[in-house]
Structures are given as structure tokens and as C-alpha cells.
Amino acid sequence: MKFTIVIACLTTLAGCTSSSPRSVQRAPQFKRDLIAVSFKPGELSAKCSQALVQFSSEMNAQVTNAFDFDRVWSSFNDTIQPLVFMGYVSNDEATRSEASQCEAKTNVALADIFTHRRLYKIVKTTTVQDMDQERLVIELRRQFEKSGMTLNQRKLEKFRKLQAELADLEAQYMKNYNSDTTTIQFAASDLSGVSDTFLSGLQKLDTGPGGPHYVVTTKITDAMEVLMNATSSETRRKMLLAFENRGGAINSGILARAIVLREQIAKIIGFKNWADYRIKGNMAKNSKNVMKMLNDLKSKLAPRYAKERDQLVQAKQQMVDANATQLDPWDVRYLAYQIQKRDYQLDDDVLKQYFPKDRVVAGLFSVYSTLLGLHFKEVKGASVWASDVKLYAIVDDARQSVIGYFYTDFDPRPGKYGHAASFPLILGHQTANGYSLPVSAIVANFNPPTNGLPSLLTYTEVRTLFHEFGHIMHQTLTRAPYGYLSGTNVAQDFVEAPSQMFERWVENPMILRKVSGFYKEPVQPIPDALIAKIIASQRYEHENLPTGYYYMRQLVLALTDMALHTATKPVDPDATYARIHRELLGFDPIQDSHFMASFSHLMNGYDAGYYGYLWSQVYADDMFSEFKKEGLLNGQVGMRFRSAILEQGNMAPALSLISTFLGRQPNNEAFFENLGI
């Protein structure tokens, strides 16, 4: 087992809020130094080594039952995870390198622990007294058995060796991906169509072929601006090629070797393939059920996607090349955005003026506070790893006490993790001294303030923020007594459901008014006319892409993942992706790219699990239907959701948690209604 960091991914103590009168409550006390954020050369490595030695020692000397195991495991997590996190966010290259090495060693240590026969016997023979304890034993036993405890010693040693090799490859891949600082130089004429604000924020070089040049990074904010707006097809082609080559051929090779190792591991442990091995214990149960779901969705989506593809080709003929008969991969985002502007009069440069980051964050906090019975308080003077990072305490309204913390890290930096994600740093779990308060971090790469303008978000980025903050709430509102079952340590094909559900809030006019404000006059919300255009466009687009294309693209990624991890012989990841891309989308991906070199999900915990985004969307939409029916700011429904889902972690099977919240068995009606199919 490895610690999973969520690109992006629990009887319990649900009724834990107090009805004590607020008049007798003391003001909550805030902690400022929750994790170490700066290190001298070698210091992080030394702390990592010390934690690993202590972990091994305590597992061997202190564990006499499953509850001891969870205590030691949770304590180790709370020490090591903040160190590993520095590999994704630290400004210092040496620190990032040490953190990456620490992550690899950590995953090897965890694999060793779960292949320890004495510990397995202790867990398996633990006497339980209630359902909570039984749940912990069941889940721990499952992990031990997936880690080889049913094997003879010879096979177990081989299993351990392969797991160690795999952990090293995963760490190498993520280090290459996180450390990629590729840039492209464009002349001003190459960037015709991009916004003046974007152009003014770029590094400008005084010399270059044909005059001054601008430096464009491969951070997602830069890449999307160019791919959606640059009128030059060649500029968009160069941008997409660089964006899909982050990590380069070396990462594609690392992934190919990892897939071979995974197949060998699965065979040793008695599974047909890696996908079946990984999916056991998830809601889907096995790869056959996953493939049925993906193929069923593919057939249902095909007619809608075919119409959208024809529309994109027609737009290309009108806007780019009158003789065009098919799409090129660098066309799609550009054409989709031009159609959005033409048919729905929606221009991101106009919309962004109403979504200054600070206003959106304040509105986001207000929405979640109203729904979930809490509020957020910035902790001033907190130790942070970059100047723009902030720390917030989560204060429960009923008890007026701090129940968790989270950091926000929104500005792009060289060497920083390139997308949006939430990172659990300290788990919520019961200790001898009370409940350990969970700590998480939300990481994104929004455009920083430029030339007197504040950081302005696109509508898609507002949606992303609501998504990732859903993960933060899942991680920090947990009241699960055991760290191993805490927060987002749930079935992989359920982990995205709460966050996907919360995305839907920004489709509502009332919420859009709440999270918006003109950057020059924040009290002025987004005009109703613009809201109407956003709502109208949602019948067409999702995340700046035609809805049918967006979901067909998700199927390309999920089916590529499954093809790689059901393979029984060496495969070429890039060739596999190209084949499925061509089959489903009807055109080839960009030549000479290594998309799989930056498809980091497959090396950071979502291997044979990318289907989970689509699987969990079914449940997300079904759960959202309760709020849609009762009101998006209905605190009673929100508190039911907090109690039934967010606080529970993995204290019961996901399907049971969902059914408890809904008061019925879930279904896919809302999902297909939302897709319009």
C-alpha cells in the first residue's frame, strides 16, 4: 500500500456536534506551526530516515492488535506525509528532490509492513467488540492479503522485490513530472488572439528571430490560454506538443516498465491482471464490471459526440481552413471556445472580471459554511512554504471549536505540482489525548496578479475550486476513529463523488452571484445576462469543451488505463493511447508527443482507477439531486451529507453511505439526465 495523494484524491462518530450553549464556549485557539515548511540541506532526508526507523521499530515492538497497528500507521502518516508533500510544492529544488526520495522509501516501507506475517496474524486474530472495530480489521486484512500474505515465502520475497522496484519507478516518474520546467518562446505575432493581460504577465526577451519574444510555460494556465485563444494553428500545435511532452520519453519508458512490473505482481498474487488486483475492494469489484460500464457509456455517447465533432469540423472550415475535413488535436479547445463565444456570447476575458480569486474564495467559504455548519478563519502568522500560501482553521459552529485545518496554495511557481489537487497531510483519528485534528492542503495554479489586476479566475477554474474544496471537506470533516479509514481513504471509485457533486453548485444563478464580484467593485455581482449565458452554454460545454467530447475524452483516458493494466505482455503506453484516441475521437493525437509521460494519475495512485471519475460521477449526480430538490443552501440537507458522507470516511462501504444519505438505493437517472442522453 502507498499513501495516495488525491489531480486530482468516513458508526461511527457522526453525531459528534454538541448542543452546548455558545455563551459558555471559549474562543477557539489556533495553531500556527502544523508542519515543517523549510529545511536545510539534508534535513528532510534525515527526518524521513528517522521516521522510517521509528515506524519499523514501533510496528515490531508495540503492535499487539489491529488498533495498535492503526495507531502506529496513523502516527507515521502524520510525520511522513508533510515531508513527502514538499516534493510537490517546495520552492527549493534540493528539498523537492529529498522529498521525492522520501516518498519512494516510504512506499517501500509500507509495502514491507503489509508483507509482515506476524503483523498479519495479529490483525487477523484481533478480537472486535463493535462494528467500527470490525470494519478496521476487515480493511486491514484485505490490504495484507492483497500484499501477498497468502503466498509462500519464495513468492512473497519476489513480490516484495517487485513492489520495491515499482515504488522506485513511481517516484522517478513523479519527480520528472513535478520538476519539468519546459518553456516555449513565441514572437508577439505568434500569440495573436491571446489576451493583453496574459501577454503582459509573460517574461519578455528583448532579442529573438523577428524581434522580441515571450516565454510561455507549460503550466496549465499558460497552456489553456494559448490553446483556446491563439489564432495561429502552428502556435497551438507547438503549445500542445510541449504540454503533452512534460516528463518526456523517459517518463513513457518508466510507465512501460511499471506496467510490466504490475502485471507480474498481479500474477504472483493470483489475479488475472493488475486491474482486477487493484479494483478488488472498490465499488466496481472487478475489471469486467468496469469495462461494461465504460463500453455502455461509449455507445450512449457516440451519437452526441458525432454531432459535436461535425460541428467542430464545420467551425474549422469557417474559422481556420475552408478545405478542412477533419480535426487536429490542437484545434479542439480553440474551436470549442470560439463556438462558445459565437453562439453563447461567452468570453472568458469578460467573465474573469467577475471572478477575482479572493472574491470567489470568500463566496466558496460562505457556501460551504452555510451547508456544513462551520466557518473558516485565517490563521495569521502561520509558517508556510511560499509567501502566497495561507492557513485556515475550520471552526464548528455548534461547538465553536477548531475541528481541522487546511492550507491554500493557488499561485504557479517553477517546480510546483502543475495541476489542481488536494493533499491530506495529517489524518483525523482518535488518540490517547483526544481526536487528532486533520490537516490538508488545496493546491492549484491560477493566474497570479498582473499589472495591477488581481488574480482572475475563469468559470472553469471556479468549478475546479469547488471540486478540490470538496476533497478538502472530505478530508478535514472526518470523525472516523481510525486513521486508516479516515477522510478520503475510501474506495478509489468513490473518492471523487463528493467533490464532483460540489462542482454542480456553480451551475446555479444564486451561487454564481454569491461567488462573484466585479474586480473594480466587488459588491457588484455578475450580471444576470451573463449568468443566463453561462446556464445556456452548459447544455453545450463542460470545462470549456463540448460535453460529448469531454466525456468521450474521459473514456479515452479510462479505457487506455484499463488496456494498459489488463495487458498480459509489454505494451507501449503512447501507442495504446494513440490507438484508443483514434478509435473513440476519430482523429490522431499530436505526433511526436508523449502524453502518457504526464498522465500522472497512472503513477500516483489512480492506476487501473481512472474509470473512477466516471463511476463516481453517477453517484455524485444522484446525491446532488437531493440538494437540487431541497435547496442548494439547505443546511439541513448539508448537515445530513456531512454526517452520512463527509464524516464517515471508510467506516462503512460506500454504497451503504450513499444509500443512508439518499434514503434509498442510488441510480443513474440523474447522471444520464445531466449528460442529455
Q: Helices 573-585 and 287-319 sit at what angle, rounded to 10 degrees?
A: 70
The pLDDT confidence band at residue 211, using thresholds 50, 70 and 90, is: confident
pLDDT recorded at residue 466? 98
Q: Is the pLDDT of residue 20 over 50?
A: no
Q: Is the pLDDT of residue 17 over 80?
A: no
Does residue 42 sit within a domain? no
Which one of 191, 209, 243 terminates a domain? 243
Does residue 217 sit within a domain? yes
Domain of residue 505 covers 356-525+629-657
pLDDT recorded at residue 26? 57
pLDDT recorded at residue 5? 46
Q: Is the pLDDT of residue 16 over 50?
A: no
Q: Are residues 234 and 529 in contact, defined by beta-carbon separation less than 8 angstroms?
A: no
pLDDT recorded at residue 360? 98
Nearest to 558 by CA among 517, 598, 614, 642: 614
Strands 213-217 and 374-378: unpaired
The pLDDT confidence band at residue 4, using thresholds 50, 70 and 90, is: very low
Give yes or no: residues 222 and 368 share one domain: no
Give yes or no: residues 233 and 376 share one domain: no
Q: Is the pLDDT of residue 268 over 90?
A: yes
pLDDT recorded at residue 206? 80
pLDDT recorded at residue 60? 95
pLDDT digits (tens, 9 = 90+) for 25-67: 456 778 899 999 999 999 999 999 999 999 999 999 999 999 9
Which one of 224, 243, 262 terminates a domain? 243
Does residue 111 sit within a domain? no
Does residue 519 sit within a domain? yes
Which one of 200, 217, 243 terminates a domain? 243
CATH for 520: 3.40.390.10
Question: What burial class does residue 196 get, using C-beta atoms within 10 Å of its C-beta: 0-12 exposed, 13-18 middle, 19+ buried?
Answer: exposed
Helix ranges restricted to H, 321-458: 332-344, 348-351, 357-372
pLDDT recorded at residue 9? 39
pLDDT recorded at residue 27? 63
545 forms bridges with which residues in the sheet? 542
Give yes or no: residues 371 and 223 share one domain: no
pLDDT recorded at residue 470? 98
Does residue 445 sit within a domain? yes
28 or 427: which leads in pLDDT: 427
The pLDDT confidence band at residue 23, using thresholds 50, 70 and 90, is: very low
pLDDT digits (tens, 9 = 90+) for 231-255: 999 999 999 999 999 988 999 999 9
Side by side, the strands of the sheet bearing 401-409 are 374-378, 390-396, 401-409, 439-443, 421-426
Q: What share of the chain is helix, strand, coil (3-state, %, to 5)?
A: 55, 10, 35
**Structural domains counted in the chain:** 2
Q: Are residues 476 and 404 in contact, defined by beta-carbon separation less than 8 angstroms?
A: yes
Strands 439-443 and 401-409: parallel
- Residues above pLDDT 70, as percent of the chain: 96
Q: Are residues 400 and 30 in contact, defined by beta-carbon separation less than 8 angstroms?
A: no
Neighbours of 186 (CB within 10 A): 22
Helix (H) or strand (E) run with residue 519 in it: none
Q: Are residues 407 and 441 in contact, defined by beta-carbon separation less than 8 angstroms?
A: yes
Does residue 502 sit within a domain? yes
Q: Is 641 helix (H, G, I), strand (E, B) or coil?
A: helix
The amino acid sitting at 20 is S
Does residue 278 sit within a domain? no
pLDDT recorded at residue 18? 32
* Residues that are catalytic: 468
Helix ranges restricted to H, 329-458: 332-344, 348-351, 357-372
The pLDDT confidence band at residue 170, using thresholds 50, 70 and 90, is: very high
The mean-pLDDT minimum among 200-209, 244-253, 255-264, 655-664 falls in: 200-209
The pLDDT confidence band at residue 24, using thresholds 50, 70 and 90, is: very low
The mean-pLDDT minimum among 13-22, 354-363, 535-544 falls in: 13-22
Give yes or no: residues 370 and 503 share one domain: yes
Q: What angle do CA 643, 648, 652 make, to 5 degrees?
A: 120
Mean pLDDT of 403-429: 94
The pLDDT confidence band at residue 463, using thresholds 50, 70 and 90, is: very high
Q: What does 71-140 look like in DSSP terms, one character per residue? A: HHHHHHHHHHHHHHHHHHH-S-HHHHHHHHHHHHHHHHHHHHHTT-HHHHHHHHT----SHHHHHHHHHH
Q: Is the pLDDT of residue 357 over 70?
A: yes
Does residue 126 sit within a domain? no
Mean pLDDT, rounded, of the chain: 93
Which residues in 356-395 are b (16+ Cβ under 10 Å) and which e?
bbebbbbbbbbbbbbbbbbbbeebeebebbeeebebbbbb
The amino acid sitting at 79 is T
pTM over 0.75: yes
Q: What angle do CA 33, 5, 578 make, to 5 degrees?
A: 145
Q: Is the pLDDT of residue 368 over 60?
A: yes
pLDDT recorded at residue 451? 82
The pLDDT confidence band at residue 2, using thresholds 50, 70 and 90, is: low
Rg (CA), the chain: 24
Give yes or no: residues 370 and 502 share one domain: yes
**Spatial distance between the Cα atoms of 629 and 627, rounded to a whole number of angstroms:** 5
Q: Is the pLDDT of residue 632 over 70?
A: yes
Question: What burial class does residue 187 get, using C-beta atoms within 10 Å of its C-beta: 0-12 exposed, 13-18 middle, 19+ buried?
Answer: middle
213 or 27: which leads in pLDDT: 213
